[in-house]
Structure 1
Amino acid sequence: MRESEIGSAKKMHRGVAGAVAAAAVLLLQAPARADNHVVPPVAGEQLAQSSQPRSFAIPAQPLASALDRFADQTGISFAYRTGDISTIRSPGVSGMLAPREALQQLLAGTGVSFAFTGANTVTITKAPDAGSGAMQLDAVQVQGLNQQSTIDNLPPPYAGGQVATGGREGFLGNRDTMDTPFTSTSYTSTLVQNQQARTIADVVANDAAATKYGLSMFDQFRIRGFLLGAGGVSFDGLYGLVQEDRVPVEAFERVEVFRGPSAFLNGYVGAVGGTINLSPKKAGAQPLTSAGASYNTSGQVGAVADVGRRFGKDGAFGIRFNGLYRDGYTPLQNNKERVGNAALALDYAGSNVRLATYFGYTKQDTMAGNQLFIMSANQQVPAAPNAMSAVQQPWETIDTEFVYGMARGEVDLANDWIAFAAYGQSYFRENWLRTIGRNMTAQGRFLASGQQYSRTFWKQTGEVGVRGKMKTGPISHSMAMVATGYWEVVGSTFLPFAFSQSTNLYNPVMTSAPASGAFNYNPPKASATSLGSFALTDTLSAFDERVQVMLGARNQSIQNDNFTTTGALSSSYFASALSPAVGAIVKPWQNVSLYGNYIQALQQGPTAPTTAVNAGQIFAPTQSWQLEVGAKVDFGKWTATLGLFEITQPAGITNPATSVFSVDGQQVNQGIELNVFGEPIEGVRLLGGLMLLNARLTQTAGGTFNGMKAPASPDVTLKLGAEWDTPFMKALTLTGRVNFFSGQYINEANTQAIPAYTLVGVGARYRFEVDHKPIALRANVENLFNESSWQSGYTGGIVYRGTPRTIYVSLTADF
């Protein structure tokens, strides 16, 4: 990278560090109460608006009994018809909250609204169409807020609280699940905390269409059978602001998984199977102080802190800090991990202007992490070694560092129109000293070959646009226009590292650390990429939005340059295309949504993996397209979705004889998805899905691999999780999850395969109070039976070991 770019990165490091330090001082000096910052109440709302926050610990239960407990704690009287809520269940509420905010949480996702009819009386009303399954957003939650906004306007949680009723659909803004012609799932921070998720990979483990692959220290996924790296994950709708390795999730309110090509919606051109968006946390209406400690099987300990406050007149200014530190050994023998993460969110909420800024810093170090293996040609894959045993060398290390900053703003142009803009920068560096298991045989013998390299990523990203609604006669229009830009410079160098050791999976040969050179913290520029796009869309609705048609197009352009180690230009690609998108929704009943879509997308060409001899080479841009139809049914307490899709994109293949990666032919993925979420039975929550996938190669050179199954594409992926609130102990919840993956090929010739495997997880959580402070004790076990398995995510006969059995215990307290 150029010296000016390195200087900018260092300035950014100092700026983020200063902002985080200043935030810590402000939070420590902030008053514990924010009552004087609340908007003065109108008549009939005085109690809820002006009373001080108090501790609530009402678990999920029938709504009628939840209201009784709420009345006991607040002195508020409720008026409602018993029949209206007799079958409704409340998700509960916990934490230090004002009564009004606590009541909103108590009713979240129930289809029930409330209104203060006196200082201490509240009327509870069941929405007219709640019985049809349509979830109602409590009007009190969004009073005075432009519904086109994405700041402070997250869709509410669905019944059960594990997922939301909708999520971010790119430049379309936030959309309800039933009102979008695509499929996506928005996982909540409640699920993240209850499952003790540490990275977005742990959250994605709930999604049948998305599977985490690769090394334990990296978050890489396949969505609908196509690869998605962590760099293809967006932050508050912008790409380039998420690190290339593991992504801690403590600072995020939602983890949203979008299925299918997303270039039209998001402007990013590297996600054909789907993408993931992370919605950051911001300060809420009430003061928040939460802290926790964690422990895992092998002695790794950690601590987390989450602090939020609002300041100024009417609480217009907000600040929230999330901190994480984790260090120690994992159940994988010799493996030690250290993670530090700090995230700061600042926001301003005016009458017609909203601003939010985010800063973050992450440092991660890994010793003796999981290893990848490359099979010898014509050799069958050996049985996986014990999941806990060490195969990698004990001196292998990876250290990464990441810093980012982002600002987003919105201005209300009219009641249903806003203008928005966002801009962000990030810098990521990584240093690897590792071995790759090459030429592995059916007996488990392989050659541990050393590799040392350094890489840096400098990224800038931004968008500007308008979004709103209008009517032309009986037709309603939901319109949006956006321009996006993305700039990336990658520095890379592979250093001489002469290490070679013959060893075996089941009886590994360990050596002392060999001599190695110093890492290059300023590697030469390897590639530069610029992406630009302009998009328009109009969703036409009629018959009370029972019929919706989305029309849109995005003009995309990609410029990519590759450089030699001397800085000379080695190759250059430019491509542009107008990519159309069409979607439709028909609601024969209010709670049934039939949908379909067709999307074309220009995408950045694939990058050769580090295992290839041409590692890091970026290929010319390609085009992909998707056709999908499906149905969504909201039964009131639970929702089921069914989708049938076909996605086509050029295939990237690693030649097993030469280890050269190239683009050859097409990969066509046809699949069926079934997803379910919610609380179908009182006290029982379900979350999971099934994906049946037929991934085939076509139009390969000379027809060599035509009709073969695409590597790393299991025919069947089943994920099903459940939670049960025990009737014999109301504060106790038991959990479980089963993830099944059928066997899959790992090479294009379909001569090498890994067997099916099943991962079982169980858990429990218990809530109680100490001195009126809510405390939660959680325990989770992943890979309960310590199944030893192989996983695969790339071509060329590459396999990875699965993760071993791990027990996680945490204690969280709100103050």
Structure 2
Amino acid sequence: MKRYSGRSRAASVPRVVARRFARPVRLGVGVGVGLSVGLMAANVIAATAALADQTDQAQAATPTTPADKAAPPVAASASNAVLPTVTVNGASGNAWRARTASVAGYDNASLQNTPASITVVTRAQLDDQQAKRLSDVVRNDASVNKDYAPVGYYEGFSIRGFALDPASAYRLDGLTLSGEQQVALENKERVEILKGLAGIDSGVISPGGVVNYVSKRPENVASVTAGVDSRGSTSAAVDLGRRFGPDDQFGLRVNAAKENMHSYIDGTNGRRTFGSIAADWNIDPRASLQLNAEFQQWIQRSASGYQLLGGTVVPSAVSSSKLLGAQSWAKPVTTDALNINGRFDYAFNDNWRAYVAAGRSRTMIDDNVAFAYGCYYVSSCGAGGTSPYFFSSNGDYDVYDYRSPGEYRRNDEMRVAVDGKFTTGPLRHDVLFGTSALHRVVHLSDAVYDYVGSENIYGDDVDFAPSPNSPSVSYPQLDAWQYSLFATDRVSLGEHWEVLAGGRAVFLRQKAWTSQDGPETGTDKSALLPQIALVYKPVAPLSLYASYSKDLSLGDQAPVRASNAYAFLPPVESHQYEIGAKYDWANRLSLTAAVFSISKPFQYAEPDASEAGYTFVQRGTERHDGIELSASGRVTERVSVTASVAAIRARAYDSGTPAYEGHQVINVPALRAALNADWSVPGLAGFDLLGGIEYSSSRNANEEGTARVPGWIVFNAGARYTTKLAGHRTVVRLWVDNLFNRYYWSDAGEQQGDAYLFLGAPRTARLSVTYDF
């Protein structure tokens, strides 16, 4: 599978790429936050008991949730609210439509006026679609694709055709996560997806974009949710919150969940446990403090992906339920994830505000799998010139005992920023400036990765003896720092024109090791990342913009089969040009369009005369040109929709290897679309019918473009019924993924020079009941 835990000891695996060849290179966060896990657990338990006892009194005293009290008084006068409120719209389906986001440099910025392409999936849509993981969320955006997302392991994605870096592309409340985890959704208010370069907001990052999870804030709420699906999975979750104190200046919210997962792939069942706490303190009308902590343990067997047969043919008639390389001794993958952050806001007056935010995100993974890869050890492998890095042309493949315990990754970050408003003559300025520090640490072991036997994708499972070898102890493999200074000024020139200009100065310093006693390698790099945008508003509902952004991302790591195995290529610069339009139709439907072009150096395994046959290089340009269309809101009083279309032309140029040019790059469909609708049924109060359609055109399954997986259409359907039981609001939800049980390849991602294929999940129905008390 994808991320081999670091740098492979390939001696026991001749000419074979290690599973999960992880890039331990990416950045992290500057200062740890002094919150102990023990204290968090104690607070969760104590708060849960107290809230359970006080809920009835709170409901009697507070008939409606005072959303205005969830934020300090300064929030009413500042465009960047200290503690953002949660807006609940009464019209059918209107809760699917968001109006603000926090991923474009400013807190809670208006989507209509932000010169960037942003999708927000709201809490209401997460609930209606019964989303459990990020792959359930991003299917609402046609620009986002799976990019190596196996069952039982953390998922990979691409935006606009560029793979997201798990070490820097995922955020929680604006602070960097260690993305090697399945982030829980029970305590999230919304998920924001910024598409394209985000240099001012993000610094060193892959050019695809950013995914930001926004936590629920404390308010008076008490609910329990129970769920089941058609495969036997069960789940239970509780959401308890309360504001208290003489002026409701204190707030506390606890979320907890337990899930037993029954997968559609045989032998990959699992379980997870989750708990979180969010606390607010509105210290006075100018100052506020918020703290968040969450912990999740995810235990599940992981599934290997298929590979091209003979390196050129997509497997056919294989079962979506088959676990490749199934072995009785294979242990599950265990992932423990802890995310903590805090933020202090202070408003000097109605126009000027400052904040300090800090966070820590830590993952610990025991990675175990009987991994299916290549065909080096089977006699059929050489038939017809088959490469050992693919399955044999008749379906034979090798099985490896892979064990990598104690994979430790930690991101620490601190950010200090000031934003304010002022005028200079006829010009109005909205400025933001500050500094941040990001520190990433990775500890990995020398994993066991030993051949144990060979099987066939169409044959019965064969049990082999596991390897007698043991992995080494975990040791440091990466220590990376990123410091940055950033500033931006949004200048309004009258009622119709705005200019946004700014940039981020980035200073990157990192050290890496390939073994416990191996030599240290280092990288020192600095860059200035500018961003400029012009916005024109001819009429109030319409906003037109044009923008340019420059970004810096770390070079890829050479795969083990290359002559320069494990080498890290130099950092690369990316450039993006984008023009777009946003229209707010009748204050009920948001319509957006964007045209973009993103380019970066092309990184690939170049065939050559070396003993390995390949050298990993940067040569030429990879350019993705595309068009995005989207809609969100109410079409009629009873029908609401979210819709997304993305057409992307992704090509390599001037690489010196003609086989890699003239066609779409691997795993990027030329056209993707997603449509979801909510219809409030007339005459049936509280009853809504839900539906969705996902479409993907065919995509290349290898770099040469000689193998393709077919396009597909998947239909989803559901219903929501809202009523009262014993005087308490109760919501029953049904959602069916892949309604017509379509058989399709959902993912043809490449990872470190190897291509993998994953089948989409068959039809799955989910039923849940939420009861407010």
Q: TM-score, normalised by structure 2?
A: 0.86
Cα 1:195–1:31 change in 2 (3 A) is: closer
Question: 2:623 matched to which residue of 1?
Answer: 668
Mapping of 1:166-245 within 5 angstroms? 166-213=100-147, 214-216=149-151, 217-231=153-167, 232-239=169-176, 241-245=177-181
Contact 1:354 1:410 in 2 (8 A): yes
> Among residues 46, 65, 84, which one is paired with 1:25 in the alignment?
46
The yes-or-no answer on 1:371 pairing with 2:371 is: no
Alpha-carbon displacement from aligned partner over 1:318-350 (angstroms, at most 9, x marks no partner) = 111111111142222222121111111111113
Question: 1:152 matched to which residue of 2?
Answer: 84
Question: 1:266 matched to which residue of 2?
Answer: 202
Aligned AA (2:341): M
Cα 1:715–1:328 change in 2 (3 A) is: closer
Contact 2:620 2:652 in 1 (8 A): yes
Aligned AA (2:440): E
Aligned AA (1:393): A
Aligned AA (2:39): G
Structure 2: runs of 5 or more not aligned: 6-31, 375-389
Cα 1:473–1:518 change in 2 (3 A) is: same
Mapping of 1:543-554 within 5 angstroms? 543-544=494-495, 546-554=496-504
Higher relative contact order (CA 8 A, sep 6+): 2
How far 1:426 sits from its partner (Å)?
A: 2.3
Partner SS state of residue 228, structure 2: strand
Cα 1:179–1:785 change in 2 (3 A) is: same
The yes-or-no answer on 1:793 pairing with 2:725 is: no
Question: 2:424 matched to which residue of 1?
Answer: 472
Counterpart-to-counterpart distance in 2, 1:192 and 1:509: 38
> Among residues 30, 34, 37, which one is paired with 1:16 in the alignment?
37
The yes-or-no answer on 1:432 pairing with 2:384 is: no
Question: 1:355 matched to which residue of 2?
Answer: 289
Cα 1:429–1:665 change in 2 (3 A) is: farther
Contact 1:357 1:407 in 2 (8 A): yes
> Among residues 316, 323, 334, which one is paired with 2:267 in the alignment?
334
The yes-or-no answer on 1:449 pairing with 2:400 is: yes
Cα 1:723–1:274 change in 2 (3 A) is: same
Contact 1:165 1:176 in 2 (8 A): yes
How far 1:265 sits from its partner (Å)?
A: 1.9
How far 1:571 sits from its partner (Å)?
A: 2.5
> Among residues 708, 715, 726, which one is paired with 1:753 in the alignment?
708
Counterpart-to-counterpart distance in 2, 1:737 and 1:461: 38
Size of the alignment, in residue pairs?
Answer: 710
Mean Cα deviation higher: 460-469 or 554-563: 554-563
Counterpart-to-counterpart distance in 2, 1:36 and 1:814: 14
Partner SS state of residue 314, structure 1: coil
How far 1:35 sits from its partner (Å)?
A: 12
Alpha-carbon displacement from aligned partner over 1:338-376 (angstroms, at most 9, x marks no partner) = 111111111111310011111111111112x33123436
Cα 1:510–1:809 change in 2 (3 A) is: farther
How far 1:403 sits from its partner (Å)?
A: 1.3
Question: 1:784 matched to which residue of 2?
Answer: 739
The yes-or-no answer on 1:164 pairing with 2:98 is: yes
> Among residues 228, 233, 239, which one is paired with 1:295 in the alignment?
228
Counterpart-to-counterpart distance in 2, 1:761 and 1:204: 15
Partner SS state of residue 652, structure 2: strand
How far 1:311 sits from its partner (Å)?
A: 2.4
Cα 1:143–1:696 change in 2 (3 A) is: closer
How far 1:172 sits from its partner (Å)?
A: 2.3
Question: 1:52 matched to which residue of 2?
Answer: 61
Alpha-carbon displacement from aligned partner over 1:404-439 (angstroms, at most 9, x marks no partner) = 221111111121111111111222111222203322
Counterpart-to-counterpart distance in 1, 2:647 and 2:116: 18
Question: 1:694 matched to which residue of 2?
Answer: 649
Counterpart-to-counterpart distance in 2, 1:150 and 1:511: 58
Counterpart-to-counterpart distance in 2, 1:295 and 1:449: 34
Counterpart-to-counterpart distance in 2, 1:658 and 1:446: 22
Mean Cα deviation higher: 153-162 or 707-716: 153-162
Counterpart-to-counterpart distance in 1, 2:207 and 2:55: 46
Question: 1:811 matched to which residue of 2?
Answer: 769
Contact 1:222 1:793 in 2 (8 A): no
Counterpart-to-counterpart distance in 1, 2:770 and 2:88: 23
Counterpart-to-counterpart distance in 1, 2:561 and 2:740: 32
> Among residues 486, 502, 510, which one is paired with 1:535 in the alignment?
486
Question: 1:488 matched to which residue of 2?
Answer: 440
Contact 1:306 1:322 in 2 (8 A): yes
Counterpart-to-counterpart distance in 2, 1:576 and 1:708: 34
Question: 1:82 matched to which residue of 2?
Answer: none
Counterpart-to-counterpart distance in 2, 1:381 and 1:732: 44
Alpha-carbon displacement from aligned partner over 1:133-169 (angstroms, at most 9, x marks no partner) = xxxxx99998645322352256776971113112013
Cα 1:33–1:631 change in 2 (3 A) is: same
Partner SS state of residue 450, structure 2: coil
Partner SS state of residue 325, structure 1: strand
Counterpart-to-counterpart distance in 1, 2:493 and 2:229: 54
Mean Cα deviation higher: 505-514 or 404-413: 505-514
Question: 1:402 matched to which residue of 2?
Answer: 337
Partner SS state of residue 624, structure 1: strand
Partner SS state of residue 23, structure 1: helix
Counterpart-to-counterpart distance in 1, 2:299 and 2:259: 11
Aligned AA (2:506): Q
How far 1:220 sits from its partner (Å)?
A: 1.4
Contact 1:747 1:797 in 2 (8 A): yes
Cα 1:605–1:283 change in 2 (3 A) is: same
The yes-or-no answer on 1:651 pairing with 2:602 is: yes
Mapping of 1:98-117 within 5 angstroms? 98=65
Counterpart-to-counterpart distance in 2, 1:503 and 1:562: 37
Mean Cα deviation higher: 377-386 or 619-628: 377-386
How far 1:221 sits from its partner (Å)?
A: 0.9
Alpha-carbon displacement from aligned partner over 1:770-793 (angstroms, at most 9, x marks no partner) = 110111111111122332322122
How far 1:313 sits from its partner (Å)?
A: 2.4
Alpha-carbon displacement from aligned partner over 1:639-671 (angstroms, at most 9, x marks no partner) = 211110000112332468758655443210000
Q: TM-score, normalised by structure 1?
A: 0.82
Cα 1:797–1:515 change in 2 (3 A) is: closer
* RMSD between superposed Cα atoms in Å: 3.0
Contact 1:786 1:804 in 2 (8 A): yes
Partner SS state of residue 201, structure 1: helix
Counterpart-to-counterpart distance in 2, 1:786 and 1:662: 42
The yes-or-no answer on 1:280 pairing with 2:215 is: yes
Alpha-carbon displacement from aligned partner over 1:438-468 (angstroms, at most 9, x marks no partner) = 2224543322333222421022111101001
The yes-or-no answer on 1:247 pairing with 2:183 is: yes
Contact 1:380 1:441 in 2 (8 A): no
Contact 2:104 2:116 in 1 (8 A): no
Cα 1:492–1:611 change in 2 (3 A) is: farther
Counterpart-to-counterpart distance in 2, 1:170 and 1:186: 12
How far 1:629 sits from its partner (Å)?
A: 0.4
Cα 1:628–1:326 change in 2 (3 A) is: same
Structure 1: runs of 5 or more not aligned: 2-10, 38-49, 55-96, 106-137
Cα 1:29–1:502 change in 2 (3 A) is: same
Contact 1:381 1:441 in 2 (8 A): no
Aligned AA (1:386): S
Cα 1:543–1:33 change in 2 (3 A) is: farther
Counterpart-to-counterpart distance in 1, 2:304 and 2:544: 45
Partner SS state of residue 292, structure 1: strand
Aligned AA (2:629): L
Q: Identity, % of aligned pairs? A: 24
